Amino acid sequence: MAFAFPDLKRPQYPSSPEVLLSALAWSVVPRAPGHNETGLIYQRKESRAKRGVTIEQTMPRGQGLEAFRASLQSNGWTAVTGGDLPKVVAEAAVDAMLGVKPPKGVGYASSAIGLAGALLQDPIGGLATKNPPNFANLLNTMHALGGSAEGQTAASRWFDVARYYSATRELKALEDALAGTTLKNFLREGVWPPNSPQVAKASVPEPAPSWWQASVVSAGVGTPFSWFHSSWNRLCSPEWYTILPPRRWAGWAVCVLRNAIGFTFLWEANFFLELARGIADHERDPTTVARWALSPTRPLVPYQRGGIAQMDVMPSIRRLLTQGLACRKAIIEAAGELSDEPNDLASLVEALRTANPKSIKTALGGGGDKGGLPNLIETVRYSLLARSALDTPDHHALLKVVSRNYTHVAPAPEWIVVMSAMAATGPSDAVRLGDVQRSLEDIGFKPRIDFLLGELERAGLCASASDGDEGIEINLGFGRK
């Protein structure tokens, strides 16, 4: 049997990041038969989809709006002044569900709050393509690679939270109205309201390789997977979701998913590149090669000060992904040809040194198969990049386009809040600068302590501390003590 690597589905990034939550949602809520081919998007734009792709807008408009209004009324929404519920109320409710508006793409996603809110779009509609990547499988696999799942997946954890919000007084009528009108044709009969997640087979996570369990999970090595696993579990715990309003929770969840995806593929590229270098350089200790492959020694996204061109992160991201992808293909191919399966990464390095395949040297030299590279670069870039219109700003991005041609690290106001919150075990727990730094190091982002402090101060998160450095306390501002 060939040496197994973490099996991550090849990505393609949706223009609206809320589609990631929607992918999780549709992986645990069954679709009506015959409607699997139709893509959903909350608000359709003028632009055309690819040939053969049918996309439907789920935002109630025209007659649909009237049906939605009536449904809202029958579900308990009435004006205090009496009479029929004014149409303007339905219009306002529909607008309130709109998410971040990206400049590109075939439409705008909803903000993906609650259960029905997240079902208002799907990957086909979000990417306007017939065969989008299985994001639910990717996210569930990343979650499983990060630690013990105890029978839970990223999607099932999301379901618990969405169901909680869906039952709240403010959302229940709205959710029922959406499920009874615009979503009615797409939900399997009798499925609404769903009481438990019905996991789609295709979204079941890929099993982690045995060496991964021993050398990474059990050894507590910090990776984007472990960060995603702990952050997602924390965010999906009652401590957090009971104090966060639904839209804020959805915003934070999308932020966690975007960073997890962006940094996971950077980490993967670095992992294969380091392995390839270690295989090519016979003088390096295989154990060190394995350690450096698992824990990047340099930041995956460089955060530095300097001239506008110097601060551009895209050249280094592009270079890393290009080299990493070529090395990935070469190593997987070469490992598949080994007669004996190595026990761990260090043994793999030794075995491949002995086999000495040409393809790895070719990949290191800039050659080799780079199929799928544009999608990979776009996925990483757009996962982390701010994309928004003035009326719906993207508060959760890490990168920003500056002066058209350059992409800089410029954390949006909520990004650092989410990252700090995910470094704390709960809203009322003490979290210090060292905790945030460590958490960011796990995903491979290693900002200088003064840069990090600057971002925390800008967001008003730093409570003054008499002893500095890693001991500086962060005040998240969320109570519940």
Partner 1 sequence: MNSNPWSSEDAKVLAGLPVAGGTAQETSFQKLQKRAFGGEDVAARPGAEDDEWWPKGPLLPGVQELTRDFVTGIESPESLHLVFLLGGAGNGKSFAARSLGKELGLAASASDALAHRIYKATRNGVRIELLNDATIAPSADYQSRQPVALACDIQRWWGESAVSPVAAFCCVNRGIVIDELRSLSEQGHDIEVFARAILAWLASPESDAAGQLGTSLEEAKLVLGEHYHELRFNLGGRSVRISAMSVDARSLLDIDGDQSRAGMLFQQIVGRCRDDALARPADCPIRANVQQWLPPNTILGWENILAHAEIASGRLHSYRDVWGLAALSILGPRFAVTDGSQSLLDHVDRCLHKARNGSSPKDRLDALLELSQFRMHNALFRSPIPSGGDALPFYPPTTPAHLGLSLVDPSAWGSMDSHAVEVAMQSVALGGMPSESLIGSGLLDNAWFGFDKYLEQAIVEYVGSDDCSDRVRRRLVSWFGGYLTRLVGVSTGRLGNLAVVTQWKLCREACVNGVGKLPLEFEKAIRSLVFPQHDDVPPDRILVPAFAARVEPLQASRDGASPRLAEIIPHNSINLQVRQQGSRLVLECTLTGHAEVIGQLVLDFSLVREALACRGRRAGQTESTAHVEPRIERCRASSLSAVPAIQRRLVVISGGSPVELN
Length of the chain: 481
Out of 282, 298, 305, 458, which residue is the one contacting partner 1 (CB under 8 A)? 458
| Residue 80 touching partner 1 (CB under 8 A) | yes
| Residue 467 touching partner 1 (CB under 8 A) | yes
Query: From the CB of 148, what's the least distance to partner 1, in Å?
Result: 16
Cβ contacts of residue 297 below 8 Å, gap of 6+? none
Q: What's the rounded Cα separation, in Å, for the pair 107 and 105?
A: 6
Considering only 258-266, 281-289, 370-378, 454-462, which stretch makes contact with partner 1 by CB under 8 A? Answer: 454-462
Query: What are the b/e assignments for 427-447, b being 16+ CB within 10 Å?
Result: beeebbbebbbebbbbbbbbb
Q: What's the rounded Cα separation, in Å, for the pair 344 and 6?
A: 13
Out of 37, 50, 84, 96, which residue is the one contacting partner 1 (CB under 8 A)? 96
| Residue 481 touching partner 1 (CB under 8 A) | yes
Q: Could you say which DSSP state residue 135 is in? A: H
Out of 4, 9, 56, 77, which residue is the one contacting partner 1 (CB under 8 A)? 77
Out of 30, 64, 342, 413, which residue is the one contacting partner 1 (CB under 8 A)? 413
Q: Which of residues 303-362 bind partner 1 (CB under 8 A)?
A: none
Out of 92, 214, 308, 402, which residue is the one contacting partner 1 (CB under 8 A)? 92
Q: Could you say which DSSP state residue 463 is in? A: P
| Residue 161 touching partner 1 (CB under 8 A) | no
Q: How many alpha carbons fall within 13 Å on the CB side of residue 267?
A: 25
| Residue 469 touching partner 1 (CB under 8 A) | yes
355, with CB counted inside 10 A (0-12, 13-18, 19+), is: middle
Out of 37, 47, 88, 389, which residue is the one contacting partner 1 (CB under 8 A)? 88
| Residue 163 touching partner 1 (CB under 8 A) | no
| Residue 451 touching partner 1 (CB under 8 A) | no
Considering only 162-170, 320-328, 337-345, 348-356, which stretch makes contact with partner 1 by CB under 8 A? Answer: 162-170
| Residue 86 touching partner 1 (CB under 8 A) | yes
Considering only 2-10, 297-305, 355-363, 457-465, which stretch makes contact with partner 1 by CB under 8 A? Answer: 457-465
Q: What's the rounded Cα separation, in Å, for the pair 260 and 256?
A: 6
Q: What's the rounded Cα separation, in Å, for the pair 344 and 389?
A: 48
CA Rg value for the chain? 23
Backbone dihedral angles phi then psi of residue 299, each to the nearest 5 degrees: -60, 140
Out of 84, 95, 285, 337, which residue is the one contacting partner 1 (CB under 8 A)? 95
Q: Could you say which DSSP state residue 359 is in? A: H
Residue 226: C-alpha distances to residues 149, 264, 265, 399, 439 (Å): 11, 10, 14, 22, 10
Structure-token pair, residue 302: 């460089």
Query: From the CB of 453, what's the least distance to partner 1, in Å?
Result: 13
Closest to partner 1 by CB, 94 vs 138, is 94
Query: From the CB of 466, what's the least distance to partner 1, in Å?
Result: 4
Number of residues that bind partner 1 (CB under 8 A): 61
Out of 197, 246, 324, 411, which residue is the one contacting partner 1 (CB under 8 A)? 246
Out of 268, 274, 312, 414, which residue is the one contacting partner 1 (CB under 8 A)? 414
Q: What's the rounded Cα separation, in Å, for the pair 431 and 227?
A: 16
Query: From the CB of 356, what's the least distance to partner 1, in Å?
Result: 33
Closest to partner 1 by CB, 264 vs 439, is 439
Q: What's the rounded Cα separation, in Å, for the pair 94 and 314?
A: 37
Query: From the CB of 221, what's the least distance to partner 1, in Å?
Result: 8
Considering only 31-39, 88-96, 342-350, 356-364, which stretch makes contact with partner 1 by CB under 8 A? Answer: 88-96
| Residue 244 touching partner 1 (CB under 8 A) | yes
Q: Which of residues 174-233 bind partner 1 (CB under 8 A)?
A: 220, 222
Cβ contacts of residue 218 below 8 Å, gap of 6+? none
| Residue 285 touching partner 1 (CB under 8 A) | no
| Residue 389 touching partner 1 (CB under 8 A) | no
Query: What are the b/e assignments for 379-416, b being 16+ CB within 10 Å?
Result: bbbbbbbbbbeeeeebbbbbbbbeeeebbbbbbbebbb
Q: What's the rounded Cα separation, in Å, for the pair 340 and 333?
A: 14
Which residues contribute to the site for partner 1 (CB under 8 A)? 76-81, 85-86, 88-89, 91-93, 95-97, 111, 113, 168-170, 220, 222, 243-248, 251, 395, 413-414, 417, 427-428, 430, 432, 434-435, 438, 457-461, 463-464, 466-471, 475-481
